Structure 1
């Protein structure tokens, strides 16, 4: 049995690996991968061979956010890279097997062109962008409201056309609501949960002596540095609003230059005390800030709330039943439009703060409302699901592989 995994982004790579590792534990299937976006460091770390050509594009994979990013990527060799990747997929497909596409329509389209059976893990879209359990969510733009409701589904007709091809053996949506809607369109959708919530276990002891806040600036430079500076402005503004000690934790993604973060911290009056730990005095109290490269699960498990400017990582935090505060940045990912869309996707679990100076009031307002905190916990678990999805999805993939 052979399986090729296609994914298009750092978060998608991570989700794919959880499923692939679960599959490896149950069978002797030969697994290879082709990351369509980025260089696939996560696959290499997991000892999953990467085929074809990989390259980091200027946009970091967010060409749909901004036409200028598309132009930059084309100038950076996007067309040549795409053709080389499609050729690599077709060469791999000559020996038979199955393809697992993880992400959005791009890896699914690439999988379909192979002629092989494929399954699709739909990480990028959710019906929660359009509606909740009570019905459609009103949009600010009349045009967006009418356009999105007109198709009756977050997935456009061309998405659903690919999902209903005989080659497509299974679609794994990210939540129950989305699976229910897709089934109405006769898509082979399986409600097996969201693998984003797997691999987040941590067995340590949480501190109770202070307010602990996760800082999640995103995984792609240079945007994460601009996001980091916005967060530091928010911290400076909010520390004067609290009398209790504060601890900030930030799990820095692979490939982020810690020296750059260090210099920004110094410029905002944080003092380095030891490796990756900083302090900042406010009133009679003192805040600490710790950079935690590669310790994401520990960071979010220890934290009560988050200041976040990311996609997948914010959703994972929300899935733990915890609140996140988000601020619009300059992109290419975390733009005002992206932030607004995230408030629809995650509902009550996220609070959109327009300016860093407003962060203190927003956080204090939440902490003074225990009923709202409980509602956020229930909402996060419902929208992101329980752990174990990767294992359940791998069981279904193994059944499909046996028929290929």
Structure 2
């Protein structure tokens, strides 16, 4: 039996790799991959061969958020790329004794069905928390969206559920319990095994200094949007020194592929002074704040910080899953727009505070940290919505059973 992993995005690639690592630890190594969006650099870390054609599109994979992004991708060869990838998956599946793991949204799920091979689906993109929480339905700004979703009674549309109910589909792994329970109502073979996003976040030196307020700055991972987000976050820091007596320590994990020099130049333009490599300070007298750029130290960044100022998708969700609060600010996109930020407040509930302007962050942060009851609610909410670590191994074990049956 050979396994082909299909994924469609940077975050989806990372989730897929965690599951594939768990499979390899169980002794299964007949694995190949096809990243539908981007070039799938995450797979190279495991030396997993990539089949078919891969290419980075202008949108970075966010065509569903902006019609102009879709037009740019079509001009960049999206239709030809998609067709070539479908044919590659079908050719791979025709060789027999094959199984497909689709990670992401309807696109890899559709590719898996078109292959004719048996498949499983890790549903990373949707959650019932976008529609409801444990207390009931959430209000929506759009009357049409509200009526449509209540009519279908599920975050997944009927055609998505149809793909999940095909005899080829052996298992669906939703990201949380509430979503798994709803899918089971529609006879989907859903398994509540947790969210692989929460794996791989351990940090050995997990100690924090209570006399210092440490804040994670999470601008995202996709250029060029990340640099615009970085400027917005830096503007939000104005006034923090006036609101807090504790020394402020700011840390941001610089994602692979980002230009550290560009981040440095933006910091200098906002009056931060470099004191050593990747370390900066700002302030006057005893009122000082330090800032550290931490390349490839994502887990440390999340574990060290008590709160985050965030403009990202997956990274914000992982921070929330540790039981910590985040302040989020809408950006100019293509990902972290006002619509995306509003949807994230529904997905993550009490754990995120949405402010419309950067200059509102300091006040929101002060209000948040002065309310211990609210912080306790946030801790419980984050663990409930994002689940406990170990999901990748649980999913891998289930996959091996399905591939052997």
Q: TM-score, normalised to structure 2's length? A: 0.98
Unaligned runs of 5+ in 1: none
Q: CA deviation at 1:10?
A: 0.7
**Closer/same/farther in 2, CA of residues 280 and 294 from structure 1, 3 Å limit:** same
Q: CA deviation at 1:374?
A: 0.2
After superposition, residues 2-401 of structure 1 pair within 5 angstroms as 2-96=2-96, 97-204=98-205, 205-282=207-284, 284-401=286-403
Contact 1:240 1:282 in 2 (8 A): no
Q: CA deviation at 1:50?
A: 1.2
Q: CA deviation at 1:283?
A: 5.3
- Of the structure 1 ranges 129-138 and 80-89, higher mean CA displacement relative to structure 2 is found in 80-89
Q: Secondary structure at the match of 2:295?
A: coil
Q: Secondary structure at the match of 1:95?
A: coil
Alignment: residue pair count: 403
Q: Distance in 2 between matches of 1:22 and 1:263?
A: 40
Q: Distance in 2 between matches of 1:114 and 1:148?
A: 30
Q: Distance in 2 between matches of 1:150 and 1:304?
A: 40
Q: CA deviation at 1:18?
A: 0.5
Q: CA deviation at 1:76?
A: 0.9
Q: Distance in 1 between matches of 2:388 and 2:10?
A: 22
Q: Secondary structure at the match of 1:351?
A: strand
Contact 1:239 1:282 in 2 (8 A): no
Q: CA deviation at 1:27?
A: 2.3
Q: Distance in 2 between matches of 1:387 and 1:17?
A: 15
Q: Distance in 2 between matches of 1:317 and 1:283?
A: 32
Contact 2:241 2:287 in 1 (8 A): no
Q: Secondary structure at the match of 1:236?
A: coil
Q: CA deviation at 1:91?
A: 1.7
Contact 2:18 2:392 in 1 (8 A): yes
Contact 1:176 1:193 in 2 (8 A): yes
Q: CA deviation at 1:373?
A: 0.2
Q: Distance in 2 between matches of 1:74 and 1:149?
A: 33
Contact 2:102 2:121 in 1 (8 A): yes
Q: TM-score, normalised to structure 1's length? A: 0.98
Q: Distance in 2 between matches of 1:332 and 1:123?
A: 19
Contact 1:238 1:357 in 2 (8 A): no
Contact 2:120 2:170 in 1 (8 A): yes
Contact 1:129 1:154 in 2 (8 A): yes
Contact 2:234 2:270 in 1 (8 A): yes
Q: Secondary structure at the match of 1:39?
A: coil
Contact 2:174 2:191 in 1 (8 A): yes
Q: Distance in 2 between matches of 1:76 and 1:212?
A: 42
Q: CA deviation at 1:51?
A: 1.3
Q: Secondary structure at the match of 1:32?
A: strand
